Amino acid sequence: KTHKITLIPGDGIGPEVTQAVVRILEATGVKFDWEQFAAGAEAFEIFGEYIPQALYDSIERNKVALKGPVTTPIGGGFKSINVTLRKKFDLFANFRPIKLLPGLNSHWPGVDLIIVRENTEGEYVGLEHEVVPGVVESIKVITEKGSTRIARFAFEYARKHGRKKIHSIHKANIMKLSDGLFLRCARKVSEEFHDIQYGEHIIDNTCMQLVMNPYQYDTLLLENLYGDIVSDLCAAFVGGLGLVPGANLGHDCAIFEAVHGSAPDIAGKDIANPTALLQSAILMLRHLDEEAAADKVQKALETVYSEKKCLTRDVGGTCGTTTFADAVLQAMA
Ligand code: NAI
Ligand code: MG
């Protein structure tokens, strides 16, 4: 079977890490038919659109995309391509596993966390306006439907994969109505899952608790913005943003992408770590029921890390993006 996959290399370090990952995927023996598209500023230059219609159509058809990061301008400019795609395909669950690769050092070597981030609402609905000069309103939207389905996703994942505990992370002491609704929905869903412990922690305390002792957590259930921030915090447990994978999942489509952004500070230098996107690609292979290929890449990745022969700079090595990919390919052969 050939898998048709929409491929969005993105910009910044995106094309470099995507190329590395595609080379490795091609070597698994699984057959891919890539439909490649530009997005963001790059697409605007070519097509006059930030997201070309053909890209939407491709994801709609293929149901699966592999995506590099796309730069989002701060302040003015265009809306986030990432947020737009997640909303367009109703990819309501952002799934981010945090686990240390063998051979890497961490203050918390046993860390094993699942971050489940609501991916379509909260502060990310893009409802902002200037009331009068000097006063801006930004609207946060929380719905019963959105909160219930993300809670259900977290509990079902936990049950299926033998996770023991879920904590809802919130600020319902201040955002009484919005975070209050999010919590009520999570609590209600939790009643159907007596096999899984359920707890609630306030977001600021959670950040401190995570840094003091992340072992107390198992699965974190968060609204969109809290999930965004806590994901980067948790990336630090396992070596940083170059490592942590992600999946944007809906009922119909899925887009696999790393947690990190386009890293303009290191773009174009062949020094970015492609591991985060590679681990996202492993999640994609499992989603495609290509378990054997997923295991093969995972094993090769673990070999490269545990042998410490070719690591990228972000984790203390001197290898480049391309030579790191070569090492993974060699470990697979
Ligand atoms: P960033 O995640 O791009 O970079 C943060 C830090 O981590 C930088 O020091 C960078 O060098 C490092 N880093 C990130 N990925 C790395 C990798 N694979 N290997 C080694 N080091 C890595 O965050 P930043 O700088 O805040 O955002 C840059 C741009 O990316 C912004 O325009 C932002 O909007 C966009 N962005 C896009 C995302 C997406 O496409 N899904 C997600 C996050 C940010
Ligand atoms: Mg982020």
* Topology adopted by domain 1-91+243-333: Isopropylmalate Dehydrogenase (3.40.718)
Rounded to an integer, what distance in angstroms lies between the CA atom of residue 56 and that of residue 34?
A: 15
Task: Over range 111-137, report the average pLDDT.
Answer: 96
How many CB atoms are located within 10 Å of the residue 109 CB?
11
Give every CB contact of residue 212 below 8 A, 6+ residues apart in sequence: none
Which residue's CA is the nearest one to ligand 1's atom 41?
69
pLDDT the model gives residue 138: 96
**Cβ atoms of 259 and 267 closer than 8 Å:** no
Ligand 1 atom with least separation from CA of 259: 42
Domain with CATH 3.40.718.10 in the chain: 1-91+243-333, 105-238
pLDDT the model gives residue 182: 98
pLDDT tens across 173-216, in order?
A: 999 999 999 999 999 999 999 999 999 999 999 999 999 999 99
Nearest bound ligand to the CA of residue 316? 1
pLDDT the model gives residue 103: 95
Q: How open is the CA angle 319-229-179, to the nearest 5 degrees?
A: 160
Which residue's CA is the nearest one to ligand 1's atom 18?
242
Q: Ligand 1 centre and the CA of 186: distance in Å?
A: 31
Nearest bound ligand to the CA of residue 80? 1
Rounded to an integer, what distance in angstroms lies between the CA atom of residue 225 and that of residue 207?
A: 14
pLDDT band at 124 (very low <50, low <70, confident <90, very high): very high
pLDDT the model gives residue 75: 84
pLDDT band at 77 (very low <50, low <70, confident <90, very high): confident
Nearest bound ligand to the CA of residue 276? 1
- Classified as helix, coil or strand, 308 is coil
Instruction: Among 70, 241, 244, say which to mutate for ligand 1: greatest number of ligand atoms within 8 Å of CB.
Output: 241
pLDDT the model gives residue 309: 84
Q: Ligand 2 centre and the CA of 178: distance in Å?
A: 21
pLDDT the model gives residue 137: 97
Say what the pTM is.
0.97
Q: Ligand 1 centre and the CA of 116: distance in Å?
A: 20
Q: Ligand 2 centre and the CA of 241: distance in Å?
A: 10
Ligand 1 atom with least separation from CA of 277: 18
Instruction: Among 16, 42, 82, 262, say which to mutate for ligand 1: greatest number of ligand atoms within 8 Å of CB.
Output: 262
Is the pLDDT assigned to residue 305 strictly greater than 90? Answer: yes
Q: Ligand 2 centre and the CA of 231: distance in Å?
A: 7
Q: Which residue is listed with tokens 């094309």?
A: 15
Task: Over range 266-276, report the average pLDDT.
Answer: 98
**Cβ atoms of 65 and 7 closer than 8 Å:** yes
**Cβ atoms of 33 and 63 closer than 8 Å:** no
pLDDT the model gives residue 73: 86
Please report, in angstroms and rounded to a whole number, the separation of the first and last CA atoms in the chain.
22
pLDDT the model gives residue 302: 98
Provide the b/e sequence for 272-304 (b: ≥16 CB within 10 Å): bbbbbbbbbbbbbbeebebeebbebbbebbebb
Ligand 1 pocket: which residues have CB below 6 Å?
A: 13, 17, 69-72, 82, 241-242, 257, 260-266, 272-273, 276, 314
Half-sphere exposure (CA, 13 Å, Cβ side) for 318? Answer: 0
Which residue's CA is the nearest one to ligand 1's atom 38?
261
pLDDT the model gives residue 208: 98
Read off φ and ψ for residue 300, nearest 5 degrees. -65, -45
Give every CB contact of residue 31 below 8 A, 6+ residues apart in sequence: 1, 2, 3
Rounded to an integer, what distance in angstroms lies between the CA atom of residue 141 and that of residue 131?
A: 18
Which residue's CA is the nearest one to ligand 1's atom 10?
263
pLDDT the model gives residue 76: 80
pLDDT tens across 205-220, in order?
A: 999 999 999 999 999 9
Looking at the chain, the whole-number percentage of residues with pLDDT higher than 90 is 95
Nearest bound ligand to the CA of residue 231? 2
pLDDT band at 130 (very low <50, low <70, confident <90, very high): very high
In CATH, the architecture of 105-238 is: 3-Layer(aba) Sandwich (3.40)
pLDDT the model gives residue 78: 85
Average pLDDT, the chain: 97
